[in-house]
């Protein structure tokens, strides 16, 4: 905690060992809690949408606490690299990790603009960061023909492929991205409330 | 996931032994090589049409989990892979219908994740935090990546155990029914995450103190009891995986 005082005054990317350990712990918390929520969606595709929203909202609680415990430039980027790598290990497409690190850099800027103290900046940062959850359907935007000609998809018959083609138009894909951001905003607000209600009171924040 | 010990079993003394895993068995490969294999599997499975590589990936899984002789886990993965493959290819052909087509498509989609998870399970089961840290350092990774990654690997089982414990306690008190989940999802999230985070952070504070005392995060480069060297067996493993990938591409691509 003492290291945060000096870090807010001078800009330095060099982190104390304590901060690095905290990043590791919160990456583990974020990964396990959000993965547990998204595993509900493995049953069928419609549940997938509900569980992704749930995963975003649950992930906000460790994230918002994380922002109050480290307060050092580079924290969100490192957090994203590690939790993103874990998501890749469990089978998320690689594009998810790239998107996650890119969004983490933007979230980093937002938190930095709030001097690592502002709750509003924290909520906004989580909103931006959550958009990474729509990474797995991104191939529909840049490799649409390849995606639609996958043997798994074409074996379902031409009507099914046409159905997927008709359902996932560019506006719908973008709407999924906006939906992720909305869930991120809800999560951020909930996280800030839980922070006040429990963690500040318990002396953990 | 770990076949050696239940995650909770070492929780009691974990605070004192964190980062010092059991010494690697002679059958354990260099983590750098196995991590490269996981990443390569991940990249191949994210291709728009990874199906030609499925047979090769299954052979890789048999090879890797066979090296550590975790036959039960291997059997589990093979059953899952065979089941999904049957659902993906046989079911829509036998019963042509829109619903079976959707099941088949979902199974084909899940299959690639099961294959990645099977390859990754080898790394998770064979690589201790200390071993991974040494391998990362040997690969020239910066300290800012090495330290948090080692801590995360060490904490995944802790968080998983705590989550399961809190969830079971909630079920025991009748607080986690499906009805509650639908009516008060936010309340349920709060009840689950707050105790999990609080207890994980308590373990984390102890770990931080002990790890700092043992010099984790110091700027000088520590030496390792088991120096990471790429052995001829590692090269052979990598070469065989390359041959498998090339053969898959040549035969089915």
Cβ contacts below 8 Å, chain A against chain B, sum to 184
Distance, CA of B170 to CA of B167 (rounded, Å): 5
Say if A46 is an interface residue toward chain B (CB within 8 Å): no
Reported ipTM: the value is 0.82
Contact B48 A150 (CB under 8 A): yes
What is the arithmetic mean of pLDDT over A174-196? 93
Say if A192 is an interface residue toward chain B (CB within 8 Å): no
Say if A88 is an interface residue toward chain B (CB within 8 Å): yes
What is the arithmetic mean of pLDDT over A57-62? 95
Residues 6+ apart with CB under 8 A from B199: B162
pLDDT of residue A42: 58
pLDDT of residue B10: 32
Q: Inform me whether the pLDDT recorded for A134 exceeds 90.
A: no
pLDDT of residue A191: 95
- In tens, the pLDDT along A111-130 reads 999 999 999 999 999 999 99
Confidence bin at A160 (pLDDT 50/70/90) = low
pLDDT of residue B61: 93
Q: Does the reported pTM lie above 0.80?
A: no
Between B251 and A143, where is the model more confident?
B251
Question: pLDDT 10s per residue in chain B (253 long)?
Answer: 334 333 333 333 333 334 444 444 445 678 888 888 988 888 888 776 778 888 899 999 999 999 888 899 999 999 999 999 988 888 877 877 777 777 887 788 788 888 988 998 888 888 877 788 888 888 888 888 988 988 998 898 899 999 999 989 998 998 877 777 777 888 888 999 999 999 999 999 998 888 888 877 677 777 777 777 788 888 898 999 999 888 888 887 6
pLDDT of residue B178: 73
- At B80, list the tokens: 């899952």
Measured CA distances, A166 to A47, A163, A173, B84, B147 (Å): 20, 5, 11, 27, 47
pLDDT of residue A25: 95
**Cα nearest neighbour of B39 on chain A:** A89
Q: What burial class does residue B100 get, using C-beta atoms within 10 Å of its C-beta: 0-12 exposed, 13-18 middle, 19+ buried?
A: middle
Contact B42 A81 (CB under 8 A): no
Residue in this structure with the two tokens 């089941």, named with its chain if needed: B83
Say if A203 is an interface residue toward chain B (CB within 8 Å): no
pLDDT of residue B179: 75
What does the buried/exposed string (b/e) look like for A46-68 if buried means 16 or more CB atoms within 10 Å of the residue's CB? Answer: eebeebbbbbbbbbbbbbbbbbb
Confidence bin at A80 (pLDDT 50/70/90) = very high
pLDDT of residue B72: 93
- At A50, list the tokens: 């509900």
Q: Inform me whether the pLDDT recorded for A2 exceeds 50.
A: no
Distance, CA of B200 to CA of A1 (rounded, Å): 18
What is the arithmetic mean of pLDDT over A127-140? 83
pLDDT of residue A157: 62
Handedness of CA A60, A65, A66, A68 (dihedral sign): positive
Q: Inform me whether the pLDDT recorded for A21 exceeds 60.
A: yes
Distance, CA of B163 to CA of B38 (rounded, Å): 27
Cβ-Cβ contacts under 8 Å, A22 against chain B: 204, 208
Distance, CA of B224 to CA of B240 (rounded, Å): 29
Taking a contact as any Cβ pair under 8 Å apart, which residues of chain B between 185 and 204 contact chain A? 185-186, 189-190, 192-194, 196-198, 200-201, 204
Confidence bin at A47 (pLDDT 50/70/90) = low
């Amino acid at each position: 905690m003492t290291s945060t005082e000096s870090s807010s005054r001078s800009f330095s990317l060099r982190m104390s060992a304590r901060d690095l350990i905290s990043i590791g712990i919160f990456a583990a918390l974020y990964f396990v809690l959000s993965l547990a929520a998204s595993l509900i969606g493995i049953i069928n595709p419609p549940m997938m949408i509900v569980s992704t929203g749930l995963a975003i909202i649950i992930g906000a609680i460790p994230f918002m606490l994380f922002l109050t415990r480290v307060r050092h430039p580079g924290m969100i980027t490192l957090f994203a690299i590690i939790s993103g790598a874990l998501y890749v290990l469990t089978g998320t497409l690689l594009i998810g990790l790239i998107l996650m690190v890119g969004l983490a850099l933007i979230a980093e800027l937002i938190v930095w603009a709030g001097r690592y103290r502002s709750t509003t900046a924290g909520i906004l940062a989580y909103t931006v960061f959550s958009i990474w959850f729509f990474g797995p359907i991104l191939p529909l935007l840049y490799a649409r023909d390849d995606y639609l000609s996958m043997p798994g998809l074409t074996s379902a018959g031409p009507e099914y492929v046409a159905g997927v083609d008709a359902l996932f138009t560019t506006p719908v894909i973008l709407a999924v991205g906006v939906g992720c951001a909305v869930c991120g905003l809800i999560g951020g607000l909930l996280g800030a409330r839980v922070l006040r209600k429990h963690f500040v009171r318990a002396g953990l924040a | 996931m770990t076949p050696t010990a239940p995650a909770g079993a070492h929780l009691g003394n974990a605070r004192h032994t964190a980062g010092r895993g059991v010494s690697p068995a002679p059958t354990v490969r260099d983590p750098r090589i196995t991590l490269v294999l996981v990443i390569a599997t991940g990249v191949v499975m994210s291709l728009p049409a990874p199906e030609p590589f499925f047979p090769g990936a299954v052979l890789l899984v048999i090879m890797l989990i066979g090296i550590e002789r975790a036959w039960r886990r291997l059997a589990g993965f093979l059953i899952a892979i065979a089941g999904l493959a049957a659902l993906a290819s046989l079911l829509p052909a036998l019963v042509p219908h829109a619903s079976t087509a959707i099941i088949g498509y979902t199974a084909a989609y899940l299959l690639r994740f099961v294959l990645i998870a099977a390859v990754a399970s080898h790394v998770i089961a064979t690589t201790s935090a200390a071993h991974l840290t040494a391998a990362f350092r040997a690969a020239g990774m910066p300290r800012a990546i090495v330290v948090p990654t080692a801590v995360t690997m060490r904490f995944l089982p802790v968080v998983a155990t705590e989550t399961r414990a809190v969830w079971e306690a909630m079920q025991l008190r009748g607080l986690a029914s499906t009805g509650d989940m639908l009516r008060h999802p936010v309340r349920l999230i709060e009840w689950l995450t707050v105790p999990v985070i609080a207890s994980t952070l308590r373990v984390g504070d102890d770990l931080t103190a002990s790890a700092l005392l043992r010099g984790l995060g110091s700027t000088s480069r520590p030496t390792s009891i088991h120096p990471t060297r790429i052995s001829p067996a590692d090269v052979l493993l990598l070469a065989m995986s390359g041959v498998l990938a090339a053969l898959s591409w040549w035969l089915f691509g």
